Structure 1
């Protein structure tokens, strides 16, 4: 039985990642442009020169593997167009041997880009899913959460101060703040937040294209373990019997039991909301700390003008976007913002490049916390798939960064931060910082 599961996993990996890896990686190593956009190792550390190369070639570039764009207006138009769908739910027509491999591979884990994940679905199902949880992420709900987020931030900063002067900003602060907030929102056990972070990191790897088999296997195992926990949590909610509770998991379980969600939809939604509730914000806070530490003049501006903190958060999102790319597939021949796209063609939207489009942002390679149009970024996507938790991430980013630099105004980097190896998500695994004694005692 275990052998059969292993064979099926290899087949799933082969169709979803292995074939692309075999075809494109040698081309990337030879320097072919289209393959480099997918596999160039520099993408995990500094993708921006490649984005500018895309921009120099045109607004919509046919790379051979897919269309690609770093154009802001074109990206927005694709994301908002009804002529495009998420690639996962609108797969291209496959040759017969690959169709056999898909069937033989069976259903994989309920990953973040596998249907029925909200990231992979289109209306009307996508709309149905979002309606169930929209209220928890409304502007009023996020405003009500702010004081609790501030309390959590101060508790974490107290712990950092007690164990200073050196710490890893990611593991001791940037990850724990949003993980605690979203666990409380969902009614999940807060004491498991570090396990949630590990499961989330495992699943996040699956967002990339062409990952090695060992990474694919580790991702599926992490997602399956997360799924087993969530099934148990659903039963604990039912056993508790408090259907009047307002946490998100209780709401979703009630929707399932009323026939509004299938079991897979229930599990996928709960796992996605929990993991997505911290993934973006961990990267946002980590990226923000590094940029502000490397641009002390910008931090000085924020100290003199603290009302600029919300703008600073948007500038971090623009300049060092936690989500660097997404993709859509044309469901019919269409023209978008003056560009023709044939049916069935994939369009890779380089969000990190669009957020540095000189046609929208003056001096876009400059990090500037006073930028008046920083909020024009598309770090949270656009259209029907605009990030459900955008307001929560902005609030947590502002609370987290403001509290950190208020408590430790002399915080400095204590070594080179370590980037995550992922290409879709951009953030840090580790950000070593030093909390100067004068700051700790302040």
Structure 2
């Protein structure tokens, strides 16, 4: 479909203004009107710093699924000399993880862990997720006895770290450290991070490397039947150099932890906020537990944890009527695409019966590796809160961190009264 507005006539100041509004706390609290303004500019909008913003479902889906569009890998980042976020130590550390690898490196790393969260693995994990969730709800009830409690700190951020920590055998006393490092590291993946945020991300990257290389070394010295030891044995069969094998496992463990913590914690708290705002649908779900999976998918569509991802054109191409040269960068605006009325009727309405489509997990070879785990945690939490906390309500509107790519609710005060 031809873009309704030529990508060459968009006023740069208008785009800057919209992005500034979007990054503000107010914009994070209600981004949908801003996304509508961006979509009105066309499917492919020139970014003020170069490259393009993709606003439509069709354009974003095409880029995410096609092998012609590449991740920003280590070679690309090393070639940048503009002092941007791509050149920072945290960014270059992230370049060695799955999210930033292209074939054949991505294929090799991905195959080493097979279908990591397949149905049998998730079924085996479910009892632990249920036990952890029940314990956190118990704690929430205890804290709400005084009147109200913070759902984010008590449940939203605790369930993901406890789940992945249990699975990997990470000591519970380290959970708070990993949460803090993960939140800071995420700044290196933001669209327009500040200098302060980039400094925090660099420090966090060092902390994450220190922690996880020590963890891998510990499992190397005392192997068992745990996940990390299994990956070490797998890589010993792939890579004859033991140091290289250990490094590969470090990047796997580190990436899975930060990906699990940052996105799922946002999803869980966002889910509670959205359902609070739609009490009739929450009540309807209470009597229909079989509809919970569809409700989870609608939460992912309506407000995904990640609103922006970035790709590189691997060849000269045309996208929505706009010519894009090999090597140019595009930013897929997932939040805007999921609300594209051309893809989803009444897209700004939240409807747990919708069974609509979304691209919140990406697509192609970079489809989210932890999608199944995120769905499991969200499903268990929603089932249990509907049953155990039927009168749970949000006391005050959530506090949002001013970001563009990675959504984050920092506080969500709740009560049963």
Q: Given the two structures, how large is their TM-score scaled by the length of structure 2?
A: 0.88
**8 Å contact kept, 1:418–1:428:** yes
Pair 37,362 (structure 1): closer, same or farther in 2 beyond 3 Å: same
Q: How does 1:228-307 map to 2 (within 5 A)?
A: 228-242=210-224, 245-247=225-227, 249-258=228-237, 260=239, 261-307=244-290
Q: Which moved more, 1:214-223 or 1:149-158?
A: 214-223
Shift of 1:81: 1.6
Shift of the 93–186 alpha-carbon distance from structure 1 to 2, 3 Å rule, reads closer
Gaps of 5+ in 2: 1-10
Post-superposition CA distance 1:327-385 (Å, at most 9, x none): 11112111346653221221111001111111121111111111132xx1111111110
Give the CA deviation at 1:394: 0.7
Identify the residue that residue 7 of structure 2 maps to in structure 1: none
How far 1:71 sits from its partner (Å)? Answer: 1.0
- Which of 164, 176, 179 in structure 1 is aligned with 2:144? 164
| 2:92 is the alignment partner of 1:108 | no
Structure 1 segments unaligned to the other structure (5+ residues): 1-29, 437-442
Aligned pairs for 1:134-283 (under 5 A) are: 134-165=114-145, 166-242=148-224, 245-247=225-227, 249-258=228-237, 260=239, 261-283=244-266
Is contact 2:78–2:87 with CA below 8 Å preserved after alignment?
A: no
What is the distance in 1 between the residues matched to 2:75 and 2:317?
16
Write out aligned runs for 1:321-400 (5 A). 321-336=304-319, 339-373=322-356, 376-400=357-381
Match of 1:49 among 33, 44, 68: 33
Note the aligned Cα RMSD (angstroms). 2.5
Q: Deviations over 1:14-58 (max 9, x none)?
A: xxxxxxxxxxxxxxxx98133345544334333322221221122
The answer on 1:72 being equivalent to 2:57 is yes
1:425 equivalenced with 2:406 (yes/no): yes
> Could you tell me how far apart the structure 1 residues matched to 2:299 and 2:38 are?
22
Measure, in 1, the Cα distance between the counterparts of 2:299 and 2:352: 8
CA distance in 2 between partners of 1:406 and 1:111 (Å): 45
Q: Residue 34 of structure 1 aligns with which residue?
A: 15
* 1:130 counterpart residue number: 110
Give yes or no for contact 1:170–1:286 (8 Å, CA) kept in 2: yes
Aligned pairs, number: 396
Contact 1:169–1:433 (Cα < 8 Å) also in 2: yes
With normalisation by structure 1, the TM-score equals: 0.83
Match of 1:84 in 2: 69
Aligned-partner Cα distance in 1 for 2:337–2:52: 14
Going from structure 1 to structure 2, the CA distance change for 1:269 and 1:381 (only over 3 Å counts) comes to: same
Q: Which residue of 2 aligns with 1:19?
A: none
**Contact 2:91–2:188 at 8 Å: present in 1 too?**
no
In the TM superposition, residue 149 of structure 1 has moved relative to its aligned partner by 0.8
Once residues 206 and 37 of structure 1 are traced to their aligned partners in structure 2, the CA distance between those partners, rounded to angstroms, is: 22
Deviation at 1:401, TM superposition (A): 1.8
Task: Give the drift of 1:269.
Answer: 1.9
The whole-number CA distance in structure 2 between the counterparts of 1:69 and 1:294 is 29
> How far apart in 2 are the matches of 1:241 and 1:81?
39
The Cα shift of 1:163 comes to: 2.6
Q: CA separation in 2, counterparts of 1:133 and 1:241?
A: 17
Q: What secondary structure does 1:323 align onto?
A: coil
- Give per-residue Cα distances to partners, 1:73-124, cap 9 Å, x unaligned: 21111112222111344638978xx37x79xx99824767x32111111111
Query: Please, which of 121, 124, 141 is the counterpart of residue 101 of structure 2?
Result: 121
CA contact (8 A) 1:69 1:75 kept: yes
**C-alpha distance in structure 2 between counterparts of 1:199 and 1:268, whole Å:** 15
8 Å Cα contact 2:74/2:92 also seen in 1: no
- In 1, are the aligned partners of 2:164 and 2:257 still within 8 Å (CA)? yes
Residue pair 1:111, 1:220 contacting (<8 A) in 2 also: no
